[in-house]
Structure 1
Amino acid sequence: MRKTPATIRVAAVDLNGISRGKRVPYTYVDKLAKGAVRLPFSTLNVDVWGEDIADSPLVFETGDADGILLPTSRGPVPMPWLANPSELHPMLLHHDDGTPFAGDPRHALMAVLERYSKRGWQVMAATELEFYLVDDSGDTLKPARSPLTGKTMQTADVLSLDTLDAFDAFFTDLYAASHAMDIPAQAAISESGAGQFEINLNHGDALKAADDAWLFKMLVRGLARKHAMAATFMAKPFADDAGNGMHVHFSVLDADGRNIFNDGGPDGTPALHHAIAGCMAAMPASTLILAPHANSYARMVPGAHAPTGISWAHENRTAAIRIPGGAPNARRIEHRVAGGDINPYLMLAVVLGAALNGIEDGEMPPPAITGNAYDQDLPQLPTDWAEAIDLFATSEIMPRILPTDLIQNMVLTKRQELRKMAGLDIDEQTAIYLESV
């Protein structure tokens, strides 16, 4: 019989994808749906240090007012990385009259999915998450020590079963915990960095996919500590090794359950091409969501397995948008730009919102590329954080996808972080990002 926890956690997600909330007695469980827990609106609009945004209208201008937290459709999940039994109750922030708070990232994704729903469509999505297991016990971050030898991992061993099996205790716990949390963890592989791994989460409803990604990142970090390591999803923890990406695959089902991207052949329907065009058109402005931190831009360099040019292709992993092969009824888009350090709700919101813009506008993409995208003359993504912030702030596309209040909050947050990060060296930045994103 499951032991009733003495306390529970209630949490919403801030703009950086960091959980913000409270620890409350288990007696609160029956009162959560009645708004028993309140939280300042500004809490979801703090910087990566957890500090208020100096010029945010949510702080002094409005008296730092509270909203009410209400449970999401996800329901409570266990927290297997803790020594004592507890539950996490995912929450959404609302105004007192029940109106959704526009600065809540999960609300933003729900609004995009409602646009699909009004057409009778459902978005199915899956994510691929890369992370490093690391040793942060010293002054310099290192790859994790092998549990078999006790020695620091020195080299990558792509798709090595031996490397996976060296960390068998961690991955066995991870799969058991994922099952307990209803996170559909699928294949695990060793990746192209020393101590780097990737786990795919199975496809399903897009909102649940975002929940799964948020919860999975929390789980991996928590279990790593339980196994005397640290885990990080930061985009580029090691300058000379591979970065962490988070690829998303998505398709759209109509009211009869048919994939609107499937025409029975390899090319796909006009809707597929319209969606590709929408994603490409929004890519420069949405880069801030796909690469939200100072460290994100260390990953986005030519030839480093992270897209830098705006293009699409069939079965080509150098392109920003890839159309995987396989059975036509599984025709889908793989968006490959995002780093592992993203907020999954905002990432899915901008990708899916851009795709729907393209469908609504009937846009068509340029021809699919062939060959190495890094060797071709392509429109480029922003090359630095400041440029990405400016493009996001001035975009005419983003207000079609995200609430204007959230856009303003994000810009203020990132400009404050930009100023504060400017005075820090790489090791200091790494210490901040290591487990926060």
Structure 2
Amino acid sequence: MAAQKQYQPSSELLADSDAFLAGHPDLKWIEGFVFDINGIPRGKWLPADSAKKLLAGGLQMPRSAVSLDIWGRDIENSPLVFASGDSDGVCQPVSAISLAPWHREPTAQLHMQLFEADGTTLYADPRAQLQKVVERLAGLGYKAVCATELEFYLLREDADELGRPRPVSDNDSDLVPSTDVYDLSELDAQRHFFADVRAACEAQGIPADSILSECAPGQFEINLLHCDDPVKVADQTLLFKRLLKGVARSHGLRVSAMAKPFGELAGNGMHVHMSLVDKDGNNVFDDGTDVGSELLRHAVAGMMATANDAMAIFAPHSNSYRRFQESSHAPLNLCWGYDNRTVTFRIPASEAKARRIEHRIAGADVNAHLVLAAILAGVCHGLENKLQPPKPVEGDAYQVESEQLINTWNSALDRFAESALWQEYFDPEFVDLFVLLKRQEQAEIAARVTDVEYQSYLQRV
């Protein structure tokens, strides 16, 4: 087995960071952070004069920092904690230093990846799993072009009389049920927030595109432009979620990407658009027709064959499964079709050269690195085995009889843990770690008695 290479940041990243520091002599702080398995940033604030140290790999954190549970606790029985002395890894920059303009004091941020102490890949960092799948796809001769669409709720800081979150909205939804999809007045009412979001995206090089009001009061969607580097796309998606939360706080608001924060309102999804290009940059899904190429059908079939194996990634939390409801625009069964928003894998209407697949399963509560890794693993599986999908669905896919998506957290974790797919496409140690983490979260939530249980049973039975 060949020795692993030690990671070195690119000369472009270092040059861009040096230029940024030279142009911002008034900086007070710099945030160095990584994203953990749940997509939560974990890191440190340091004085601005520590920037050079961070760029040189001078930030150390426990290797277990990328595998904390949703509440920030170590995983019990994790091989990265007591069994290995909770040893440190080294954080290396993977994006250039950029401004975090929502802070009161001049503050910069440095997105990093956690490596082993010797600079080799640490399997526990979820970014490494996406890199592994991207390399496998490259071995087939292809690069994936990806883009994400992120839905979220913009919330008031204060809760209602029952302690529930309150969406911002200028409509009368308290009096009349309303969806307000594509309502420009909803955007107008939050124009200052979105102006600051746009400015922060420009400061951080995040390619935000269209903004629209979604299917519930206070719910919005922002699309990021496509890129032929899936790791960069996942980086930008997670950085964008962090940016949204930071800008919201500066406006006295909150942003939530929780999959289903309101039982009666639309859930938050993260749709992923993807195509494949060859070494010459040609879209191999395009055969000059509206149908698309044989490779497109192999990719669709691979996504369908692996979707249930990946549900623990596409729906990683207890709340995630509330989003999957009939006639909700969240998919329920394994099917595909052309320009059909009720299917799971949609081929959007487009010019032939832009032929692509829209993957519609994941919620907005995911780690984008793992979602793209799972999607592209499915694509590889379909290409390598020349799989064929069933006939595309026309009309209402909710009425089609086909294999159902797994709809419980426990079943999804069982399927993920038992799947031979992830032993092949991911590091097996990561699979075990992910299952340990999610089982710990599952046990904690199962031990909690909810308000509705007290209200329903405490005095009635």
> Is the TM-score greater than 0.5?
yes
Aligned pairs for 1:234-245 (under 5 A) are 234-245=258-269
Structure 2 residue 409 is matched with structure 1 residue 385: yes
In 2, Cα distance between equivalents of 1:376 and 1:152 = 36
Structure 2 residue 206 is matched with structure 1 residue 183: yes
Match of residue 432 from structure 1: none
From 355, 359, 363, the equivalent of 1:339 is 363
From 50, 56, 81, the equivalent of 1:59 is 81
Match of residue 94 from structure 1: 115
State the identity %.
41
CA RMSD between the two structures: 1.9
Deviation at 1:422, TM superposition (A): 1.3
Does structure 2 conserve the Cα–Cα contact (< 8 Å) formed by 1:144 and 1:153? no
- Residue 109 to residue 245, structure 1, CA distance change in 2 (3 Å): same
Aligned pairs for 1:256-271 (under 5 A) are 256-271=280-295
Quick one: which amino acid aligns to residue 258 of structure 2?
Answer: M
User: CA deviation digits over 1:104-143, x for unaligned, max 9?
Assistant: 1111111111222334422111111000011241352243
From 37, 49, 62, the equivalent of 2:59 is 37
Does structure 2 conserve the Cα–Cα contact (< 8 Å) formed by 1:153 and 1:195? no
Tell me, which stretches of 5 or more residues in structure 2 are unaligned?
1-22, 453-461
Does structure 2 conserve the Cα–Cα contact (< 8 Å) formed by 1:6 and 1:86? yes
In 1, Cα distance between equivalents of 2:84 and 2:333 = 42
Quick one: which amino acid aligns to residue 416 of structure 1?
Answer: Q
Match of residue 112 from structure 1: 133
Deviation at 1:289, TM superposition (A): 0.3
Of residues 24-33 and 167-176 in structure 1, the stretch that sits farther from structure 2 once superposed is 24-33
Of residues 21-30 and 411-420 in structure 1, the stretch that sits farther from structure 2 once superposed is 21-30
Match of residue 230 from structure 2: 206
In 2, Cα distance between equivalents of 1:146 and 1:261 = 41
Does structure 1 conserve the Cα–Cα contact (< 8 Å) formed by 2:29 and 2:45? yes
Match of residue 122 from structure 1: 143
From 125, 135, 159, the equivalent of 2:182 is 159
In 2, Cα distance between equivalents of 1:38 and 1:117 = 31
Q: Tell me, what secondary structure is at the counterpart of 1:88? A: strand
Structure 2 residue 448 is matched with structure 1 residue 424: yes
From 427, 430, 433, the equivalent of 1:403 is 427
Aligned pairs for 1:222-261 (under 5 A) are 222-261=246-285
Structure 2 residue 87 is matched with structure 1 residue 77: no
- Residue 148 to residue 159, structure 1, CA distance change in 2 (3 Å): closer
How many correspondences in the alignment? 426
Match of residue 3 from structure 2: none
Q: TM-score under structure 2 normalisation?
A: 0.89
From 47, 52, 68, the equivalent of 1:25 is 47
Q: Tell me, what secondary structure is at the counterpart of 1:143? A: coil
Match of residue 2 from structure 1: 24
User: CA deviation digits over 1:309-335, x for unaligned, max 9?
Assistant: 011111111111001111110011100
In 1, Cα distance between equivalents of 2:101 and 2:300 = 39
Quick one: which amino acid aligns to residue 196 of structure 1?
Answer: Q
Does structure 2 conserve the Cα–Cα contact (< 8 Å) formed by 1:307 and 1:320? yes
Of residues 154-163 and 406-415 in structure 1, the stretch that sits farther from structure 2 once superposed is 154-163
Deviation at 1:189, TM superposition (A): 0.8
Quick one: which amino acid aligns to residue 76 of structure 1?
Answer: I
Tell me, which stretches of 5 or more residues in structure 1 are unaligned?
429-437
From 349, 352, 357, the equivalent of 1:328 is 352
Match of residue 435 from structure 1: none
Give 1 or 2 for the bigger CA radius of gyration: 2
Q: TM-score under structure 1 normalisation?
A: 0.93
Deviation at 1:30, TM superposition (A): 2.0
Does structure 2 conserve the Cα–Cα contact (< 8 Å) formed by 1:143 and 1:154? no
From 168, 174, 186, the equivalent of 2:197 is 174
Quick one: which amino acid aligns to residue 254 of structure 2?
Answer: A
Q: Tell me, what secondary structure is at the counterpart of 2:71? A: coil
User: CA deviation digits over 1:223-253, x for unaligned, max 9?
Assistant: 1111111110000000000000000001111
Does structure 1 conserve the Cα–Cα contact (< 8 Å) formed by 2:170 and 2:185? no
- Residue 12 to residue 256, structure 1, CA distance change in 2 (3 Å): same
Does structure 2 conserve the Cα–Cα contact (< 8 Å) formed by 1:148 and 1:166? no
Deviation at 1:79, TM superposition (A): 0.9
From 310, 315, 327, the equivalent of 1:291 is 315
Does structure 2 conserve the Cα–Cα contact (< 8 Å) formed by 1:146 and 1:152? no
Q: Tell me, what secondary structure is at the counterpart of 1:197? A: strand
Of residues 282-291 and 94-103 in structure 1, the stretch that sits farther from structure 2 once superposed is 94-103
Quick one: which amino acid aligns to residue 77 of structure 1?
Answer: S
- Residue 154 to residue 368, structure 1, CA distance change in 2 (3 Å): closer
Does structure 1 conserve the Cα–Cα contact (< 8 Å) formed by 2:338 and 2:392? yes
